[in-house]
Chain A
Amino acid sequence: MENLLVQGLSGLATASSLFLVASGLTVIFGVTRIVNFAHGSLYMLGAYLSWTLVTQLPRGHLGFWGGVALAALIVGVVGVLIEVLLLRRIYKAPELFQLLATFGVVLIVQDVALLIWGPQDLLGPRAPGLRGATMVLGVRFPLYELFLIAVGPVVLALLWLLFNRTRWGTLVRAATADREMVGALGVNQRALFTTVFFLGSVLAGLGGALQIPRESVNLQMDLVVIVEAFVVVVVGGLGSLPGAFLAALLIGELQAFGILIFPRITLVLAFLVMAVVLVIRPHGLLGRAPSTAHAAAAPEPPYLPASPWRRWAGLGLLLLAVIVPPFLGDYALIVFTEIAIMMLFAASLHFIMGPGGMASFGHAAYFGFGAYGAALLVRHFAAPMELGLLAAPFMAGLGGLVFGFFCVRLSGVYAAMLTLAFAQIAWSTAFQWVEMTGGDNGILGVWPSAWAQSKLVFYYLSLALCVGAVMLLRRAIFAPFGYALRAGRDSPLRAEAIGMDGFRIRWFAFILAAVAAGIAGGLFAYSKGSVFPTYMSISRSVDGLLMVLLGGVKTVSGPIAGALAYTWLHEQLMRAFDLWRLFLGIIILALVLFFPQGLAGALGRREGRS
Chain B
Amino acid sequence: MLDVTDLHAHYGRAHILQGVTLRAGEGEVLALLGRNGAGKSTTMKSIMGLLRPTSGAVRFRGEDIAGREPFEIARRGIGYVPEERRIFTELSVLENLEVGRMPAREGLAPWTAERVFALFPSLGAMRKRPGGRMSGGEQQMLTIGRTLMGNPRLILLDEPSEGLAPVIIERMAEAILALKREGLTVLLSEQNLHFARLVSDRACVLEKGAIRWEGRMEALMADEAARAQYLTV
Contact = CB atoms under 8 A, between A and B. Distances in A.
Nearest to A294: B86
Nearest to A169: B95
Given A170-B91, A173-B88, A178-B88, A184 B98 contact: no
Interface residues of A, number: 20
Interface string A146-174: 00000000000000000000010011011
17 contacts: A170-B99, A174-B88, A174-B95, A174-B96, A180-B50, A181-B88, A183-B70, A183-B74, A184-B70, A184-B74, A185-B99, A185-B102, A185-B146, A185-B147, A186-B75, A188-B71, A189-B71
A186 B91 contact: no
Interface in B1-46: 12
B67 interface: no
Interface in B64-88: 69-71, 74-75, 80, 82, 84, 86, 88
Interface in A176-199: 177-178, 180-189
Contacts of A185: 71, 74, 80, 99-100, 102, 146-147, 150
A187 B48 contact: no
Contacts of A170: 91, 95, 98-99
Interface in A444-482: none
Interface string B95-107: 1101111100000
Nearest to B82: A181
B89 interface: yes
A184 B50 contact: yes
A174 B71 contact: no
Contacts of A167: 98, 101
A173 B147 CA distance: 18
Given A181-B82, A184-B48, A186-B75, A174 B70 contact: no
B90 A177 contact: yes
A293 B82 CA distance: 14
Given A174-B96, A183-B74, 6 more contacts: A173-B88, A173-B91, A174-B88, A182-B99, A184-B74, A298-B12
A173 B89 CA distance: 10
A184 B82 contact: yes
Contact of B99 (A187, A188, A293): A187
Given A170-B98, A171-B99, A184 B91 contact: no
A301 to B, nearest CB: 12
Interface of B: 12, 48, 50, 69-71, 74-75, 80, 82, 84, 86, 88-91, 95-96, 98-102, 146-147, 150
Interface in A298-319: 298
A180 B80 CA distance: 12
Contacts of B90: 173, 177
B99 A174 contact: yes
A187 B86 contact: no
Contact of A186 (B84, B88, B150): B150
Interface in A558-605: none
Which of A170, A293, A298 has the most chain B CB atoms inside 10 A of its CB?
A170
Nearest to A191: B71
Nearest 5 Cβ contacts at the A-B interface: A186-B74, A183-B70, A181-B86, A174-B99, A184-B70
A170 B91 CA distance: 8
Given A184-B48, A185-B99, A178 B71 contact: no
Given A170-B95, A170-B98, A183 B88 contact: no
Nearest to B75: A186
B95 A187 contact: no
A84 B229 CA distance: 52
Contact of A177 (B12, B89, B100): B89
B71 A184 contact: yes
Contacts of B98: 167, 170
Contacts of B88: 173-174, 177-178, 181
B89 A180 contact: no
A325 B134 CA distance: 71
A177 B90 CA distance: 8
Residue picked from A181, A183, A185, A294, most chain B C-beta under 10 Å: A185
Contact of B86 (A178, A188, A189): A178
A289 to B, nearest CB: 12
A166 to B, nearest CB: 10
Contacts of B91: 170, 173-174, 177
A187 B69 CA distance: 10
A439 B86 CA distance: 54
A180 B74 CA distance: 12
A171 B101 CA distance: 10
Interface in A41-57: none
Contacts of B74: 183-186
B96 to A, nearest CB: 8
Contacts of B12: 298
Contacts of A171: 99
A188 B84 CA distance: 22
A464 B70 CA distance: 56
Contacts of A177: 88-91
A201 to B, nearest CB: 24
Given A167-B98, A170-B98, A186 B71 contact: yes
B40 to A, nearest CB: 17
Contacts of A183: 69-71, 74
A377 B88 CA distance: 58
Nearest to B69: A183
Contacts of B71: 183-189
A181 to B, nearest CB: 4
B85 to A, nearest CB: 9
A188 B48 CA distance: 14
A171 B70 CA distance: 16
